[in-house]
Structures are given as structure tokens and as C-alpha cells.
């Protein structure tokens, strides 16, 4: 294997953004992805709606990687643009979002990494690290060619689970104070819906239908969550499974449980919800979408108060207004807390650890349980990827370790 300036482990929203940013900055970049496509949870789990804008941002011209994704999705018919939705149907919980078609997003991401000149290795899993003191000397990978080692100057861990960080000795946390994780969801898409009829169902009626479905053991959340995509298909976020990815047998059972729930939910909709009489399921996610896994302990742990108070940081690399949004462990409802000043910031120190050439990107960064529940959305993950890619390039240009880079340089370029 060749030597790379930057290696990105995991090609989700954070990983692809990190790789594109590093390559655009002139760095020889490799992305390693165990699946056959980029996007991770965004595409594979069919999440279908980007969230995480900072207040007022959606009305202003966007910049950076989010702009590139939005422009290309629009050009390919994969989105009808930015919309405002209301969490739990509540007017005060308005959130700007970009709904997208997940198969079109896969092609958009292919185009962006290829144009940036990133080397892409699909069907390749990172299985370990070779350490040289506090530095990762190489990543052990496995694919059909066998086990190999690939070396890079800077390693970005965008694996969702923080797998590279764990292998290199970083400490981590998972779940709430009892170690309980938020539930996962197998998303599905449904066609043949009379959307005019469905649009007439009031929020009160939705909640009544949801209560009926829960009582019958066919529904798992206290609302009807089915939203349209540009192609007229609806996507639904209604299954809730208890899942812990650090328990592989349990995770396997959860995948089957998700499919069983989707079967019951879709039947309930067809039999009970106006507009769904002739509907049919066209696809389910390739895997159950996980809301939770490890949170790596970095040089700084973002706290709940940092989010709720909107505390500024000299090394802030991303901002967002997405509220703390914790799905109850029983899955039925959510606990939502808005940042009091409308916006919160994430410092670069949440992306670095004691490992000198490692940068964290995406969901696995260093954050407390509740704070994590608002940084995990995909616009934020993309921006954390962008920050990681830029930090990798800047540290190489300046000849310093990634975990010693002055985050103020990043703030200036990303938020300045
Ligand atoms: C049900 C559900 C609903 C959600 N709703 C929304 C929403 O409406 N809007 C929103 O913005 N966010 C939402 N989220 C959150 C969001 O989708 C995720 O937190 C986000 O996509 C995580 O991005 P990531 O890049 O950190 O990880 P991922 O997108 O999961 O990417 C990680 C990638 O790494 C790869 N990988 C993992 N381990 C290895 C390895 N060892 N070797 C090689 N590759 C590896 C994986 O295959 C994957 O491609 C939702 C999440 C869930 C589960």
C-alpha cells in the first residue's frame, strides 16, 4: 500500500467531508469504507433529512461542503431544497432541514470524492492499529485481498463508533448515566400514498392514531412520522428497537426486530391512516440506524451547559441550533431542550485526544450524553468532517501534530 498524507476511516457524512476537504487542500487522501457506498447512516440507513443548521443560516447563502451537497442534490433532483419542519408537531420547535433522496445522495458523494482526487477503498474494514508510542503508525485493514497495513501521517476516525480511537487506547463512554443507549430505527420508504388526503390529518388525529397503534402493539412512537421526498415516496421513522452495537448478538436480534416492527407499522398505516389505503413498502434501510454508540473522551468534553448556554470557544469549529433531542429508551417519546441563546458551538478540542496524529469526526466526538444528542445530526457531522480535513491539512502544512494544532486557526477559516 502507498503512504498517504491523510487516511479517513469511515465514509459517512463526517468521513466523506473530511476526505474531500483534505484532498482539496492538496493532501494525498485515502478513505476506507466497509460498505459499498459513501454516506453511512445518511444513505445506508435512509435517514432522508439533513438537520443541524445554526439559527438564520438556512436563510443566508451557505458555504463549504453543505453548500456543495445541497447544490448537487438539487441539480440531480434529489432534494427540493431547505424546508422548515416542527419537531413533535410543535410550532416552537421549528427546525430548518434538507430532505433528500438517499440513492441520489450516494451518487452526489461519489462525484465529490472522485473530483477531489480521493482514493476510495470500499468493502474494506479497519480492524486495528499499529502504534508508535502515542502516534498511529498504520491502520490494519481487511478486505478480500486479505489483511494489510496502510500508513498515513494523519488519521481521521469517522467510523461512528470511534473504533480507531478505541484501538489506539482512547477512553470512551456510551449511553446515559446507567449506560443505556438511545433506541435505533429501521427506516423505510412507502409509495402509493394519497398525499392530499394524508395532509388533511391533523396533529391531534395523528396522536390519537398513534395511541391506538401503540395500544394494539403495532406502533412504537406517539406520533405519525411519515414525510414526503421529492419523488413522491414517503419515508418513515417509526420503528424503535433497543440496540447496543457493542453487543453483536443483541445488535443482530435488533436488526430482525426492526424488520418485524416495519411490517406491523406499515400494515397499521394501510389499515388505519387516511391516504395510505393503497400504499406499499418500497424499501427498508440496509441496516438499523443507530442513534448511539461510543463517545470518545477527547481533550475537551462538550457539556450540556455549553450547549444550553451557547458558550463561545476560541477554537470553535462548528455551530448549530439543533436542540438536545433525546429519544426515550422506551422509544415512545423524545425530550427536547433548545439552546437558550439559539445557537451553540463545538471546539476543536472535542476532536482530538492524547493520540498525536488522530482526529475524530462525526458522531463519536467528545461530548456528554445530552450534548451528544444535538451534535449527532448530519449537517453538524459534515462540518466536523470538514473541520477534521482542514485540521489534518493545516497540521501537515505547519509541521505540528494534529493534537497540538491551534484551533483558533480553524475557527478563523471555518466560522470567521
Ligand atoms: C433513526 C435515525 C434518525 C435520524 N434522524 C436524523 C435526521 O433527521 N437528521 C439528521 O441530520 N440526523 C439524523 N440522525 C443522526 C445522523 O443520521 C447520524 O448521527 C449521522 O449520520 C452520523 O454520521 P457519521 O458520519 O458520524 O457516521 P456514519 O454516517 O454512520 O458513518 C460511519 C461510516 O463508517 C463506516 N465504518 C464503521 N466502522 C468501520 C470500520 N471499522 N472500517 C471501515 N468503515 C467503517 C460505516 O460503514 C459508515 O459508512 C438520525 C439517526 C438515526 C439513527
Phi, then psi, of 275 in degrees rounded to 5: 100, -20
Q: Give the dihedral sign, CA 69/74/78/80.
A: positive
Residue boundaries of the structural domains of the chain? 4-177+292-414, 188-284
Q: Mind listing the pLDDT tens digit for each residue in 1-46? A: 799 999 999 999 999 999 999 999 999 999 999 999 999 999 999 9
- Over residues 377-404, the mean pLDDT reads 98
Q: Is the CB of 240 under 6 A from ligand 1?
A: no
Q: Is the CB of 360 under 6 A from ligand 1?
A: no
Straight-line distance from the first to the last Cα atom of the chain, in angstroms, rounded to the nearest whole number: 38
Question: Which residues on adjacent β-strands are paired with residue 236?
Answer: 188, 226
Q: What is the pTM of this model?
A: 0.97
Closest atom of ligand 1 to CA, residue 385: 25
Q: Is the CB of 46 under 6 A from ligand 1?
A: no
Give the HSE-up count for residue 413: Cα atoms under 13 Å, Cβ half-sphere: 17
* C-alpha–C-alpha distance, residues 44 and 41, integer Å: 5
Q: Is the CB of 156 under 6 A from ligand 1?
A: no
What secondary structure letter does DSSP report for 349? G
Query: Has residue 132 got a pLDDT over 70?
Result: yes
Q: Is the CB of 102 under 6 A from ligand 1?
A: no
Residue closest via CA to ligand 1's atom 4 equals 47
pLDDT of residue 141: 98
Q: Mind listing the pLDDT tens digit for each residue in 246-268? A: 999 999 999 999 999 999 999 99
Query: Has residue 331 got a pLDDT over 70?
Result: no
pLDDT of residue 287: 98
- Which residue, 339, 2, 328, 345, is CA-closest to 149? 2
The helix (H) or strand (E) run that includes residue 254 is helix 248-272
Ligand 1 pocket test, pick from 7, 8, 9, 10 with the greatest ligand atom count within 8 Å of Cβ, gives 10
Residue of 331 and 346 predicted with greater confidence: 346
Ranges of H-type helices in 117-202: 163-167, 195-199
Closest atom of ligand 1 to CA, residue 364: 26
Share of the chain above pLDDT 90, in %: 88
pLDDT of residue 61: 72
pLDDT of residue 325: 81
Phi, then psi, of 367 in degrees rounded to 5: -155, 150
Q: Other CB atoms closer than 10 Å to residue 130's CB: what's the count?
A: 14
CATH superfamily of the domain spanning 4-177+292-414? FAD/NAD(P)-binding domain (3.50.50.60)
pLDDT of residue 90: 74
Q: Other CB atoms closer than 10 Å to residue 48's CB: what's the count?
A: 25
pLDDT of residue 377: 96
Q: Is the CB of 383 under 6 A from ligand 1?
A: no
Q: Is the CB of 291 under 6 A from ligand 1?
A: yes
* C-alpha–C-alpha distance, residues 98 and 91, integer Å: 18
Q: Is the CB of 365 under 6 A from ligand 1?
A: no
Give CA separation, 309 vs 67, 226, 321, 392, 411, in Å.
28, 33, 11, 30, 19
Ligand 1 pocket test, pick from 32, 110, 125, 160 with the greatest ligand atom count within 8 Å of Cβ, gives 160
Mapping DSSP onto H, E and C, the string for 282-327 reads EEECCCCECCCCEEECCCCCECHHHHHHCCCCCCEEEEECCCEEEE
Q: Is the CB of 362 under 6 A from ligand 1?
A: yes
- Over residues 205-210, the mean pLDDT reads 96
Query: Has residue 91 got a pLDDT over 80?
Result: no
pLDDT of residue 156: 99
Question: Which residues on adjacent β-strands are paired with residue 189?
Answer: 235, 283
* C-alpha–C-alpha distance, residues 77 and 88, integer Å: 28
For residue 374, the CA-to-ligand 1 centroid distance in Å is 14
Amino acid at each position: 500500500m502507498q503512504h498517504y498524507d491523510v487516511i479517513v476511516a469511515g465514509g459517512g457524512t463526517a468521513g466523506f467531508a473530511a476526505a474531500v476537504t483534505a484532498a482539496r487542500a492538496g493532501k494525498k487522501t485515502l478513505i476506507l469504507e466497509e460498505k459499498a457506498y459513501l454516506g453511512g447512516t445518511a444513505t445506508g440507513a435512509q435517514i432522508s433529512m439533513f438537520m443541524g443548521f445554526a439559527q438564520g443560516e438556512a436563510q443566508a447563502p451557505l458555504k463549504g461542503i453543505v453548500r456543495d451537497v445541497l447544490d448537487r442534490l438539487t441539480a440531480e433532483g434529489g432534494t427540493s431544497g431547505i424546508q422548515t419542519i416542527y419537531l413533535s408537531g410543535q410550532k416552537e420547535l421549528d427546525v430548518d432541514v434538507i430532505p433528500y433522496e438517499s440513492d441520489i445522495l450516494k451518487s452526489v458523494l461519489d462525484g465529490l470524492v472522485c473530483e477531489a482526487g480521493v482514493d476510495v477503498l470500499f468493502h474494506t474494514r479497519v480492524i486495528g492499529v499499529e502504534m508508535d508510542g502515542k502516534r498511529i503508525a498504520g491502520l490494519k485493514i481487511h478486505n478480500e485481498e486479505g489483511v494489510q497495513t496502510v500508513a498515513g501521517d494523519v488519521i481521521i476516525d469517522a467510523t461512528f463508533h470511534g473504533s480507531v480511537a478505541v484501538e489506539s487506547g482512547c477512553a470512551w463512554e456510551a449511553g446515559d448515566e446507567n449506560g443505556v443507549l438511545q433506541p435505533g430505527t429501521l427506516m423505510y420508504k412507502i409509495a402509493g400514498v394519497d398525499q392530499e388526503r394524508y395532509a388533511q390529518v391533523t396533529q391531534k388525529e395523528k396522536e390519537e392514531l398513534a395511541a391506538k397503534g401503540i395500544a394494539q402493539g403495532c406502533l412504537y412512537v406517539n406520533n405519525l412520522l411519515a414525510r414526503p421526498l421529492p419523488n413522491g415516496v414517503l419515508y418513515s421513522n417509526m420503528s424503535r428497537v433497543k440496540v447496543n452495537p457493542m453487543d453483536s448478538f443483541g445488535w443482530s436480534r435488533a436488526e430482525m426486530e426492526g424488520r418485524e416492527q416495519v411490517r406491523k407499522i406499515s400494515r397499521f398505516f394501510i389499515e388505519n391512516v387516511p391516504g395510505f389505503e393503497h400504499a406499499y413498502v418500497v424499501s427498508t434501510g440496509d441496516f438499523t440506524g443507530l442513534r448511539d454508540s461510543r463517545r470518545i473522551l477527547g481533550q475537551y468534553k462538550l457539556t450540556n451547559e455549553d450547549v444550553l448556554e451557547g458558550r463561545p470557544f476560541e477554537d470553535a469549529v462548528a455551530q448549530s441550533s439543533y436542540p438536545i433531542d433525546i429519544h426515550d429508551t422506551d422509544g415512545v417519546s423524545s425530550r427536547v431542550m433548545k439552546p437558550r441563546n439559539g445557537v451553540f458551538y463545538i471546539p476543536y478540542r472535542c476532536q482530538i485526544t492524547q493520540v498525536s496524529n488522530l482526529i475524530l469526526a462525526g458522531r463519536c466526538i467528545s461530548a456528554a450524553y445530552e450534548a451528544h444528542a444535538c451534535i449527532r445530526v448530519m449537517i453538524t457531522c459534515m462540518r466536523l468532517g470538514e473541520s477534521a480535513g482542514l485540521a489534518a491539512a493545516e497540521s501537515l502544512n505547519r509541521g505540528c501534530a494534529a493534537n497540538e494544532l491551534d484551533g483558533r486557526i480553524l475557527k478563523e477559516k471555518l466560522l470567521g
